[in-house]
Chains A and B, each alone.
Chain A
């Protein structure tokens, strides 16, 4: 008797869980399907599920319709500089919070966590004015220089938690052997927090690659647009129909590096989000 109810229950679970997985996947399928449709087929009613024949050249055409070569280079430039600076500074700051006692440390850390509540748009205008004073609006600087100041509180938090898990004895042993704090940091602690570093690398990559607001505010010259801004061209004007096949194709292209990263390093993704989501 018990066995049968269990079997029923498991069947029910599978059906519900699979149903929702299906619901989640359909939009992805629709995205690919639209991306492969010829212009005249997009608005067909009833819609074609599988375009015949699939127009793979849509990807090439969309890429060529807008200077995406240049935009890709711009995006890569921003991502590489931003990521490097962010990881380096966040790790050092987290190390400082995790391993050193100094007056006011806990209050400062509380303030750091509180900045997560601050809406980005409150500081948007004065920050813009600061960069304007420096004469750097329109350059890539506003998007990448600030990364050196470890401006993602989440990353500092995540890394600090990982540092605190490492037994204190490890550092102390190194210090007795005469290592400086920076040596302890590089040779003893860094290898231990590798999973957290990978998680932070993934999240910062996504942050810079997907960013839309930053480029929207600071990059006003078409030469310095990023990938996400490039897509905007296909949206068309007020009375124009958006080019849906190109839009879906380029959305997929933009999502591709992140998707690949996700499938290759899923463990770190999951670790990163569950860690930040669960700890107080």
Chain B
């Protein structure tokens, strides 16, 4: 009971402290010559700024520093220069397979998830009856806790008594292959993860694309029909360009979250021969083996990877993302 009360007390005091910081900030800004509304605006966003400085900016810089040190939580971090990175790049047996697995997973999950959801949204957009029921069902996996998704699929993929192998049995015997051991076989781990993830993210993307489709002005299609455009032309010249800003956003967000896969992998516990995702490596190096320096280095490599890939997608966007305002120019 004490434990709850202690935390509750500190939880109750925190906003008062933040409010105090806001007020001080407000008066300093007023003294510095800002108008009342300007200072109020600053004061209102102060909680976020404080959180950003303490829990984002400082940890970001500190983890970069840690990545050049050796630190086991005891004593002080010891500066080792580029050792962690050199060891990762040249000696570690786990690192490159982990990068490969993470990148492959993202590269395969993302296109399947996005195009599949897009096609499904287009089908659902046919003014069919009971669209609400379908939307409810499609979105269902997305609200299931990640832990439950992972456990459910680990069980579905169970090689001996899993449902998937049972359902697919005729297919396996047709091709004369043994039923796969999915998460227990390094060759099948990746496909298993992809099936699991696509099942999970499919619905969210479908619902978003569906809303996007419903927002496309009808007169665009009518005009195209008068010009004699068929369904395929309409799809490529109206639907895709109109939807491209949404697709763009989904690709970015989907990529960032796919590269950060962690919880499901922890619960699925795939065979160690298949390698580990980068975030799993960060957790294991840091919190089970207490190599905080090496763990930080891996986290930074992942961060840089995400930055580069995001930048590439952004760079590519003028070629395929269509914004209304450009037409008006």
Contacts and interface: CB of A to CB of B under 8 A. Distances in A.
Q: Do A and B come from the same complex? A: yes
Given A17-B134, A101-B41, A122-B60, A93 B47 contact: yes
Given A125-B292, A150-B48, A277-B249, A139 B7 contact: yes
Contacts of B263: 212-213
A21 B56 CA distance: 41
B48 A112 contact: yes
Looking at chain A's contact residues, is the secondary structure mostly helix, strand, loop, or mixed? helix
A63 interface: no
A95 interface: yes
B221 interface: no
Looking at chain B's contact residues, is the secondary structure mostly helix, strand, loop, or mixed? helix
B181 interface: no
Contact of B48 (A99, A149, A270): A149
Contacts of B62: 126, 129
Instruction: Give the bracket for the number of chain A residues in contact with chain B.
Output: 35 or more
B11 A111 contact: no
B279 interface: yes
Interface in A31-50: 31, 34, 42-47
Name the residue among B14, B62, B307 with the largest chain A CB count within 10 angstroms: B14
Contacts of B203: 24
A150 B47 contact: yes
B279 A101 contact: no
Given A116-B256, A213-B263, A21 B138 contact: yes
Contacts of A195: none
A121 B256 contact: no
A148 B145 contact: no
Interface in A196-244: 206, 209-210, 212-213, 216-217, 223-224, 228, 231, 235, 242, 244
Given A24-B138, A213-B263, A151 B55 contact: yes
B20 interface: no
Contacts of A181: 37, 40, 44
A117 interface: yes
B55 A121 contact: no
A46 B253 CA distance: 41
Interface in B15-73: 15, 18, 34, 37-45, 47-52, 54-56, 58-60, 62-63, 66, 73
Name the residue among A102, A103, A115, A263 with the largest chain B CB count within 10 angstroms: A102
Nearest to A116: B256
B156 A100 contact: no
Contacts of B123: 13, 16-17
Interface of B: 3-4, 6-8, 10-11, 14-15, 18, 34, 37-45, 47-52, 54-56, 58-60, 62-63, 66, 73, 120, 123-124, 126, 128, 134-141, 143-148, 151-156, 158, 160-161, 163, 166, 199, 202-204, 207-208, 211-212, 215, 245-246, 249-250, 253, 256, 259-260, 262-263, 266-267, 269, 279, 282-283, 286-287, 292, 295-296, 299-300, 302-303, 306-307, 310
Given A251-B152, A273-B207, 4 more contacts: A43-B160, A100-B41, A116-B256, A181-B37
Closest 5 CB pairs of A and B: A149-B51, A100-B41, A96-B44, A126-B59, A277-B208
14 contacts: A81-B8, A102-B34, A117-B306, A119-B260, A125-B59, A125-B63, A125-B66, A144-B11, A206-B143, A217-B287, A258-B143, A258-B144, A277-B246, A278-B246
